[in-house]
Protein backbone atom coordinates (compact mmCIF):
# COMPACT_ATOMS: atom_id res chain seq x y z
CA UNK A 1 0.00 0.00 0.00
CA UNK A 2 1.14 3.49 -0.79
CA UNK A 3 1.96 5.28 2.39
CA UNK A 4 4.04 7.66 4.44
CA UNK A 5 6.65 5.98 6.62
CA UNK A 6 8.54 7.53 9.50
CA UNK A 7 11.61 6.10 11.19
CA UNK A 8 12.25 5.62 13.94
CA UNK A 9 8.88 5.66 15.72
CA UNK A 10 10.59 6.53 18.99
CA UNK A 11 13.87 8.40 19.32
CA UNK A 12 15.75 9.23 22.49
CA UNK A 13 18.60 11.71 22.36
CA UNK A 14 20.69 13.66 24.82
CA UNK A 15 20.55 17.38 25.32
CA UNK A 16 22.64 18.99 22.60
CA UNK A 17 23.28 15.78 20.64
CA UNK A 18 22.26 16.08 16.97
CA UNK A 19 19.45 13.86 15.81
CA UNK A 20 17.92 13.05 12.43
CA UNK A 21 14.38 11.89 11.80
CA UNK A 22 13.43 10.21 8.56
CA UNK A 23 10.33 10.26 6.38
CA UNK A 24 9.71 8.36 3.18
CA UNK A 25 6.70 8.14 0.91
CA UNK A 26 5.51 5.83 -1.84
CA UNK A 27 2.81 8.24 -3.04
CA UNK A 28 5.12 10.12 -5.39
CA UNK A 29 3.79 13.38 -4.00
CA UNK A 30 5.44 16.68 -4.80
CA UNK A 31 5.01 18.20 -1.36
CA UNK A 32 6.41 17.00 1.94
CA UNK A 33 5.76 18.68 5.29
CA UNK A 34 7.22 18.47 8.78
CA UNK A 35 5.06 19.31 11.78
CA UNK A 36 5.92 19.47 15.47
CA UNK A 37 3.22 18.44 17.92
CA UNK A 38 3.80 18.94 21.63
CA UNK A 39 1.70 17.14 24.17
CA UNK A 40 -2.00 18.09 23.98
CA UNK A 41 -1.25 20.82 21.45
CA UNK A 42 -2.03 21.39 17.81
CA UNK A 43 0.48 20.24 15.19
CA UNK A 44 2.62 23.18 14.13
CA UNK A 45 4.11 23.43 10.66
CA UNK A 46 7.90 23.73 10.70
CA UNK A 47 8.64 23.73 6.96
CA UNK A 48 7.76 22.07 3.71
CA UNK A 49 9.27 21.15 0.37
CA UNK A 50 7.62 21.57 -2.99
CA UNK A 51 9.84 19.31 -5.07
CA UNK A 52 13.28 20.66 -4.17
CA UNK A 53 12.05 24.10 -3.15
CA UNK A 54 12.37 24.54 0.60
CA UNK A 55 9.93 26.77 2.51
CA UNK A 56 10.68 27.57 6.11
CA UNK A 57 8.02 28.94 8.46
CA UNK A 58 9.02 32.30 9.90
CA UNK A 59 8.96 31.10 13.50
CA UNK A 60 10.81 27.82 12.99
CA UNK A 61 14.02 27.91 15.06
CA UNK A 62 17.35 27.75 13.22
CA UNK A 63 18.07 24.61 15.21
CA UNK A 64 15.74 22.77 12.84
CA UNK A 65 16.94 21.93 9.35
CA UNK A 66 15.64 19.71 6.60
CA UNK A 67 16.92 17.82 3.58
CA UNK A 68 15.11 16.27 0.67
CA UNK A 69 17.59 14.28 -1.42
CA UNK A 70 14.91 12.88 -3.73
CA UNK A 71 11.13 12.76 -4.16
CA UNK A 72 10.69 9.86 -1.78
CA UNK A 73 12.74 10.93 1.23
CA UNK A 74 12.78 13.90 3.56
CA UNK A 75 14.84 14.32 6.73
CA UNK A 76 14.44 16.52 9.77
CA UNK A 77 17.73 17.43 11.46
CA UNK A 78 17.77 18.93 14.93
CA UNK A 79 21.25 20.29 15.41
CA UNK A 80 21.29 20.79 19.15
CA UNK A 81 18.13 19.43 20.76
CA UNK A 82 16.91 21.14 23.87
CA UNK A 83 14.44 19.85 26.42
CA UNK A 84 11.77 21.98 24.77
CA UNK A 85 12.18 20.08 21.51
CA UNK A 86 10.71 16.93 22.97
CA UNK A 87 7.59 16.33 20.91
CA UNK A 88 5.92 14.19 18.28
CA UNK A 89 7.24 14.98 14.81
CA UNK A 90 4.82 14.34 12.01
CA UNK A 91 5.64 14.07 8.34
CA UNK A 92 2.94 14.61 5.74
CA UNK A 93 2.72 14.65 1.96
CA UNK A 94 0.34 16.07 -0.59
CA UNK A 95 0.13 15.98 -4.36
CA UNK A 96 0.09 19.74 -4.71
CA UNK A 97 -0.07 23.13 -3.08
CA UNK A 98 -3.77 23.85 -2.76
CA UNK A 99 -6.16 23.69 0.14
CA UNK A 100 -8.10 20.91 -1.61
CA UNK A 101 -5.05 18.62 -1.77
CA UNK A 102 -5.37 16.25 1.15
CA UNK A 103 -2.34 15.87 3.38
CA UNK A 104 -1.41 12.26 4.15
CA UNK A 105 0.32 11.80 7.47
CA UNK A 106 2.87 9.31 8.69
CA UNK A 107 2.64 7.65 12.13
CA UNK A 108 5.02 10.16 13.67
CA UNK A 109 8.30 9.97 15.57
CA UNK A 110 8.17 10.68 19.28
CA UNK A 111 11.36 12.42 20.35
CA UNK A 112 12.55 12.35 23.94
CA UNK A 113 15.42 14.61 25.02
CA UNK A 114 17.29 13.62 28.17
CA UNK B 1 -4.05 32.15 21.02
CA UNK B 2 -5.24 29.29 18.87
CA UNK B 3 -6.34 30.25 15.35
CA UNK B 4 -8.73 27.32 15.33
CA UNK B 5 -10.71 26.74 18.49
CA UNK B 6 -12.10 23.30 19.14
CA UNK B 7 -14.80 22.52 21.66
CA UNK B 8 -15.14 20.69 23.83
CA UNK B 9 -11.55 19.94 24.80
CA UNK B 10 -12.63 16.44 25.82
CA UNK B 11 -15.80 14.48 26.21
CA UNK B 12 -16.97 11.17 27.53
CA UNK B 13 -19.93 9.51 25.88
CA UNK B 14 -21.83 6.34 26.59
CA UNK B 15 -21.61 3.76 23.81
CA UNK B 16 -24.53 4.20 21.47
CA UNK B 17 -24.96 7.91 22.19
CA UNK B 18 -24.35 10.74 19.74
CA UNK B 19 -21.66 13.40 20.05
CA UNK B 20 -20.74 16.65 18.36
CA UNK B 21 -17.40 18.46 18.14
CA UNK B 22 -17.06 22.05 16.95
CA UNK B 23 -14.25 23.88 15.21
CA UNK B 24 -14.42 27.68 15.03
CA UNK B 25 -12.31 30.37 13.43
CA UNK B 26 -12.50 34.13 13.20
CA UNK B 27 -11.15 33.83 9.67
CA UNK B 28 -12.56 32.24 6.54
CA UNK B 29 -11.78 28.57 6.22
CA UNK B 30 -10.60 27.88 2.69
CA UNK B 31 -10.28 24.16 3.18
CA UNK B 32 -11.41 22.41 6.34
CA UNK B 33 -10.11 18.97 7.28
CA UNK B 34 -11.09 16.59 10.01
CA UNK B 35 -8.51 14.10 11.20
CA UNK B 36 -8.50 11.44 13.88
CA UNK B 37 -5.41 10.69 15.94
CA UNK B 38 -4.87 7.84 18.33
CA UNK B 39 -2.53 8.63 21.19
CA UNK B 40 1.09 8.53 20.03
CA UNK B 41 0.22 8.00 16.39
CA UNK B 42 -0.21 9.96 13.19
CA UNK B 43 -3.30 11.66 11.80
CA UNK B 44 -5.90 9.69 9.87
CA UNK B 45 -7.90 11.66 7.31
CA UNK B 46 -11.66 11.65 7.86
CA UNK B 47 -13.19 14.31 5.65
CA UNK B 48 -12.51 17.52 3.77
CA UNK B 49 -14.97 20.36 3.25
CA UNK B 50 -14.51 23.35 1.00
CA UNK B 51 -17.80 24.95 0.12
CA UNK B 52 -20.00 26.95 2.46
CA UNK B 53 -22.93 24.83 3.57
CA UNK B 54 -21.21 21.62 2.53
CA UNK B 55 -21.98 18.44 4.41
CA UNK B 56 -20.31 15.05 4.07
CA UNK B 57 -20.94 11.72 5.71
CA UNK B 58 -18.96 8.54 6.03
CA UNK B 59 -20.39 5.64 7.95
CA UNK B 60 -21.58 7.20 11.21
CA UNK B 61 -19.60 10.40 10.97
CA UNK B 62 -21.02 13.61 9.47
CA UNK B 63 -19.12 16.86 9.02
CA UNK B 64 -20.59 20.24 8.09
CA UNK B 65 -19.10 23.58 7.11
CA UNK B 66 -21.33 26.57 7.79
CA UNK B 67 -22.40 29.01 5.09
CA UNK B 68 -19.95 31.66 6.26
CA UNK B 69 -17.11 29.10 6.24
CA UNK B 70 -15.97 29.98 9.73
CA UNK B 71 -17.27 27.03 11.67
CA UNK B 72 -17.40 23.30 11.20
CA UNK B 73 -18.97 20.52 13.23
CA UNK B 74 -18.27 16.81 13.38
CA UNK B 75 -21.13 14.62 14.49
CA UNK B 76 -20.88 10.95 15.38
CA UNK B 77 -24.08 8.95 15.56
CA UNK B 78 -24.44 5.95 17.86
CA UNK B 79 -20.84 6.06 19.07
CA UNK B 80 -18.78 2.89 19.34
CA UNK B 81 -15.50 2.12 21.15
CA UNK B 82 -13.71 2.42 17.79
CA UNK B 83 -14.66 6.11 17.73
CA UNK B 84 -12.45 6.84 20.73
CA UNK B 85 -9.46 9.03 19.99
CA UNK B 86 -8.42 12.61 19.41
CA UNK B 87 -10.24 14.52 16.70
CA UNK B 88 -8.42 17.44 15.11
CA UNK B 89 -9.67 20.03 12.70
CA UNK B 90 -7.19 21.59 10.32
CA UNK B 91 -7.83 24.40 7.90
CA UNK B 92 -6.26 26.77 5.44
CA UNK B 93 -7.08 30.09 7.09
CA UNK B 94 -4.81 32.33 5.06
CA UNK B 95 -5.61 30.97 1.60
CA UNK B 96 -1.99 29.90 1.31
CA UNK B 97 -2.52 26.08 1.25
CA UNK B 98 -0.90 25.69 4.67
CA UNK B 99 -2.92 24.01 7.38
CA UNK B 100 -3.43 25.38 10.87
CA UNK B 101 -4.76 22.92 13.41
CA UNK B 102 -6.95 23.03 16.45
CA UNK B 103 -5.65 21.52 19.68
CA UNK B 104 -7.95 18.52 19.36
CA UNK B 105 -10.92 17.00 21.15
CA UNK B 106 -10.34 13.81 23.10
CA UNK B 107 -13.28 11.42 22.82
CA UNK B 108 -13.76 8.57 25.28
CA UNK B 109 -16.51 6.03 24.64
CA UNK B 110 -17.70 4.12 27.68
CA UNK B 111 -19.14 0.65 27.23
B102/A90 Cβ within 8 A: no
For residue A114, the tally of other CB atoms under 10 A from its CB is: 10
A98: nearest CB among B2, B44, B97: B97
Residue of chain B whose alpha carbon sits nearest to that of A5: B42
Q: What is the mean pLDDT of chain A?
A: 94
Residue of chain A whose alpha carbon sits nearest to that of B41: A107
For B28-79, give the DSSP string. Answer: --SEEEEEEE-TTS-EEEEEEE-STT-EEEETTEEEEE-TTSSEEEEEESS-
Interchain CB contact of B100 with A (< 8 Å): yes
B41: nearest CB among A43, A101, A107: A107
State pLDDT tens for residues B7-17.
999 999 999 99
- Per DSSP, the three-state class of A75 is strand
State pLDDT tens for residues B65-101.
998 889 999 999 999 999 999 999 999 988 888 899 9
Amino acid sequence: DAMVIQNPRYQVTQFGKPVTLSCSQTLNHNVMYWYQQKSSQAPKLLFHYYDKDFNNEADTPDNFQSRRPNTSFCFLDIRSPGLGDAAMYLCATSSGLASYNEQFFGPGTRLTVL
Amino acid sequence: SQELEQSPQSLIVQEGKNLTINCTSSKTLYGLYWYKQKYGEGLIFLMMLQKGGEEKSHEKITAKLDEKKQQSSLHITASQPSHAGIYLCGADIANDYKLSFGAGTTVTVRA
